[in-house]
């Protein structure tokens, strides 16, 4: 029971934080402002309670600022993207673009332009920002006085969503920071979009920071493969094929991140990170001769006899 109090405190503080975020923007018209405030508040709250330490003087708080600033900048940037896109397509609808196409492109481009910015919350804020402007302005498209009428609407929408963003930041940072001061350590929720998921819950592409054309594949070294008996340094897979052996499975033993001195043996199972386009070529290296004769290794440069590969 004693060990559960930090979690209960976090749940109570998060609930109060969300409620306060909503209350702070009740005077701002439209639901998008409420969504922006609540989403950003949760983002900042979760970041603050996940800090490793808050006691330790100026250095600890400098680290906190270093962690928080990218998320603050990311949400501001995505919101700005969305607001601009929504305004642009509202004008295009006035000029003759079909409403359905304007709505589709507003959401699609708001999402697409923010896809490279980390955090699911940032992408959601971008979409909501775009819709906040588009929804309030496309109805004015048929008006002859479109530009005089739409200007105040766009300005008020931008002001409202930006105000909600600032309120969300402030409430999340303050209440999250106060809650963290009461906790014995930092806590992270696997459901939060404030930070990267634990390694075991993240795709291997994200963990290894691989390009999209890279894959992680399992391979088998045949008993009579020409590469058997050679070290990873001698084979130099990284230089020749942009590939890396992540693990060797050998007779019930797993050798993770093997060193260059590790020699391959017939029967080894390999976990290899490699470019998808070169997969067949690399698989052939570990197959039985003559299928493995793709590129003979000039291992003589490293003082190793080349007879086994000829």
| Residue 193 is assigned to a structural domain of this protein | no
Residue after which a domain boundary falls, among 152, 182, 212: 182
pLDDT of residue 138: 72
Q: How distant is the alpha carbon of residue 282 from its chain centre?
A: 30
Print the SS3 string covering the chain.
CHHHHHHHHHHHHHHHHHHHHHHHCCCCCCHHHHHHHHHHHHHHHHHHHCCCCCCCCHHHHHHHHHHHHHHHHHHHHHHHHHHHHHHHHHHHHHCCCCHHHHHHHHHHHHHHHHCCCCCHHHHHHHHHHHHHHHHHHHHHCCCCCHHHHHHHHHHHHHHHHHHHHHHHHHHHHHHHHHHHHHCCCCCCCCCCCCCCCCHHHCCHHHHCCCCCCEEEEEEECCCCCCCCCCEHHHHCHHHHHCCEEEEEEECCEEEECCCCCCECCCCCEEEEEEEHHHHHHHHHHCCCCCCCCCCCCCHHHHCCCCHHHC
* Residue 137 and residue 27 share a domain: yes
* Residue 216 and residue 71 share a domain: no
Residue after which a domain boundary falls, among 153, 182, 211: 182
Q: How far apart are CA 60 and CA 52, in angstroms?
A: 9
* Residue 212 and residue 152 share a domain: no
* Residue 221 and residue 274 share a domain: yes
* Residue 250 and residue 163 share a domain: no
| Residue 196 is assigned to a structural domain of this protein | no
51, 206 contact by CB (below 8 A)? no
| Residue 188 is assigned to a structural domain of this protein | no
* Residue 99 and residue 231 share a domain: no
Residue after which a domain boundary falls, among 149, 182, 215: 182
| Residue 273 is assigned to a structural domain of this protein | yes
CATH number at residue 260: 3.30.70.1450
| Residue 195 is assigned to a structural domain of this protein | no
User: Which two tokens mark 149?
Assistant: 């009428």
Q: What is the pLDDT of residues 61-120, one digit of tens each?
A: 676 677 667 777 777 777 777 878 888 888 888 788 888 888 888 888 887 776 666 555
Q: How far apart are CA 19 and CA 24, in angstroms?
A: 9
* Residue 302 and residue 224 share a domain: yes
* Residue 99 and residue 21 share a domain: yes
* Residue 292 and residue 178 share a domain: no
* Residue 235 and residue 162 share a domain: no
Q: What is the separation, in whole angstroms, between the first and last Cα of the chain?
A: 69
* Residue 178 and residue 97 share a domain: yes
| Residue 226 is assigned to a structural domain of this protein | yes
| Residue 218 is assigned to a structural domain of this protein | yes
Q: What is the pLDDT of residues 252-277, one digit of tens each?
A: 888 888 888 889 998 999 988 888 88
Q: How far apart are CA 154 and CA 196, in angstroms?
A: 34
Is residue 62 classed exposed, middle or buried when 0-12, 13-18 and 19+ CB atoms within 10 A define those classes?
exposed
User: Which two tokens mark 257?
Assistant: 């991140």
Query: CA of 121: how far to CAs of 75, 128, 190, 252, 259, in Å?
Result: 8, 11, 14, 43, 40
| Residue range(s) defining the domain that contains residue 148 | 2-182
User: Which two tokens mark 58?
Assistant: 């100026």
| Residue 35 is assigned to a structural domain of this protein | yes
* Residue 136 and residue 80 share a domain: yes
97, 89 contact by CB (below 8 A)? yes
**Which stretches in the chain have pLDDT values below 50?**
1, 200, 291-295, 299-310
Q: How many domains does the chain have?
A: 2
164: closest CA among 33, 1, 278, 253?
Answer: 33
């Amino acid at each position: 029971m004693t060990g559960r109090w930090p979690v209960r405190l976090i749940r109570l503080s998060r609930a109060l934080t969300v409620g306060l975020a909503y209350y702070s923007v009740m005077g701002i018209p439209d639901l998008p402002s409420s969504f922006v405030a609540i989403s950003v508040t949760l983002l900042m709250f979760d970041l603050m309670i996940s800090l490793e330490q808050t006691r330790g003087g100026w250095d600890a708080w400098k680290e906190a600022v270093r962690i928080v600033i990218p998320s603050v900048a990311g949400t501001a940037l995505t919101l700005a993207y969305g607001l601009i896109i929504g305004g642009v397509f509202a004008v295009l609808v006035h000029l003759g673009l079909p409403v359905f196409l304007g709505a589709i492109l507003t959401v699609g481009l708001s999402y697409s332009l923010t896809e490279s910015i980390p955090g699911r919350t940032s992408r959601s804020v971008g979409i909501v920002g775009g819709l906040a402007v588009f929804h309030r302005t496309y109805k004015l498209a048929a008006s002859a006085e479109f530009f005089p009428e739409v200007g105040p609407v766009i300005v008020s929408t931008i002001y409202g969503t930006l105000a909600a963003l600032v309120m969300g930041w402030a409430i999340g940072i303050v209440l999250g920071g106060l809650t963290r001061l009461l906790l014995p350590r930092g806590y992270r929720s696997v459901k939060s979009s404030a930070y990267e998921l634990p390694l075991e819950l993240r795709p291997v592409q994200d963990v290894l920071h691989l390009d999209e054309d890279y894959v992680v594949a399992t391979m088998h070294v045949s008993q009579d493969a020409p590469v058997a008996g050679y070290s990873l340094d001698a084979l130099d897979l990284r230089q020749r094929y942009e590939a890396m052996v992540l693990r060797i499975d050998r007779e019930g033993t797993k050798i993770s991140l093997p060193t260059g001195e590790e020699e391959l043996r017939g029967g080894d199972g390999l976990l290899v990170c490699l470019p998808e386009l070169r997969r067949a070529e690399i698989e052939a290296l570990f197959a039985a001769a003559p299928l493995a004769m793709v590129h003979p290794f000039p291992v003589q440069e490293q003082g190793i006899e080349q007879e086994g590969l000829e």
